[in-house]
Copies of this chain bind each other. A is one copy, B any other.
Amino acid sequence: MDFAPDDTARDFTARARAFLDEHVLPAEPELDAQLAAAPGEWATPPVIRDLRERARAQGLWNLFLPGDHGGAGLTNLQYAPVAEVTGWSPRLAPAAFNCAAPDTGNMEVLNDFGTPAQKSEWLEPLLRAEIRSSFCMTEPDHASSDATNIGTSIRRDGDHYVITGRKWWSTGAMNPDAAIFIVMGKTDPDADRHRQQSMILVPRDTDGVEIVRPLTVFGYDDRDHGGHAEVAFHDVRVPAANLIAGEGDGFAIAQARLGPGRIHHCMRAIGMGERALALMTARANDRRAFGRSLADQGVVREWAAEARIQLEALRLLVLKTAWLMDTVGNRQAMTEIQAIKIAVPRAMQTIIDRAIQVHGGAGVSSDTPLAELYAGIRSLRIADGPDEVHLSSLGRAELSPHRA
């Protein structure tokens, strides 16, 4: 249970931090300008392409993927402080390092469950960031808090599968670079509850794939990373070889994908909280009201203290979770993964909200990253299952009488 960063982690963290300070934070206004100059444009902004080139040249690339894939092969525990650094600028840094959702999860799925052909066709270009991808799981007509609750059908028809259904919150799918979609659907509605679902690869340009519309998160369209699309699949026909693993494996693949996804979100969320606290600190020292610096107001001090306490305690819990995933495996770390999935976004939301309050009007505007950080962290409490589902599940396990 040694959480101290080793030499590798220290090295990557320091380089990521330097890259953030030198290249990423200064690029934020550039991103805003590029987006403002190209309304309705969903392709990857040039500033992100530039950052990627730079980052890749420095070896800050594919850091999220354990093992040897041209990336750094970091463990979860080594990756945690690096991912935290990227959380300081969630629109730019994860993408710059090719460590952004949903590509990360999709690459993990292909890496862990893909056939050699699937890997060659889709994983390789993703690892090189030549294409991007989307994950089509959530549906508008079914409560996604229950992951078995899927309306989309994947029907075998000779050498093909035919996909019919409607998805939304397909993150990144507005971006024309998102060349491949991993789609969850039901191959056998009569099978056991957790064996009805399968996952299948659907190239963007397949007939019958309709990008219906972009969704917003609060008022943000998240164009920087390809937005969130509603996607309709009208009898979309793909070769049977596009199925990932076997029929009925969909739920298990989803579960396997979610563990790392959740901890990555939490690692970055800690960085988002740290940035919010840093902004709050700067503002509190800069502003005066009623004859005193805001930093001298009792309530601001209290908020700073509460923020520091939460950050310290929850970072440790994230690190322990990473360490467990590295040492005993994702499945054995399920309690801790659920715990951080619940606790981290919620606590960071409070920190960001208070940083907004200290900034007054600037806080809700786009003059600081806070309001957009808020929108992002608030959504995390819904994505991959709402807090309440995880609380209930964690509580049931805790109360289980044979546990004690």
Contacts and interface: CB of A to CB of B under 8 A. Distances in A.
Interface of A: 1-4, 39, 138, 140, 143-146, 149, 168-169, 215-221, 277-278, 281-282, 284-285, 287-290, 294-295, 297-309, 312-314, 316-317, 320, 335-336, 339, 342-343, 356-357, 360-367, 371-372, 374-375, 378-379, 381-383, 386-396, 398-399, 401, 403-404
B219 A375 contact: yes
A395 B304 contact: yes
Contacts of A314: 313
18 contacts: A1-B3, A143-B287, A145-B289, A146-B290, A216-B219, A216-B365, A216-B366, A219-B219, A281-B398, A281-B401, A285-B399, A295-B396, A295-B399, A301-B398, A306-B391, A313-B316, A356-B378, A361-B379
Given A304-B398, A305-B391, A308-B335, 18 more contacts: A2-B3, A39-B39, A138-B361, A140-B362, A146-B290, A149-B289, A215-B361, A219-B372, A281-B398, A295-B401, A305-B342, A313-B316, A316-B320, A356-B378, A357-B388, A361-B383, A363-B382, A364-B382
Nearest to A367: B215
Given A219-B372, A294-B143, A309-B339, A386 B366 contact: no
A169 B215 contact: no
Contacts of A2: 1-4
Nearest to A363: B382
A218 B371 contact: yes
Contacts of A278: 404
Copies in the complex: 4
**In this complex, which of A308, A363, A392, A398 has the most chain B Cβ atoms within 10 angstroms of its Cβ?**
A398
Interface of A is mostly: helix
Nearest to A144: B360
Nearest to A281: B399
Contacts of A302: 299, 388, 391-392, 395
Contacts of A342: 305, 309
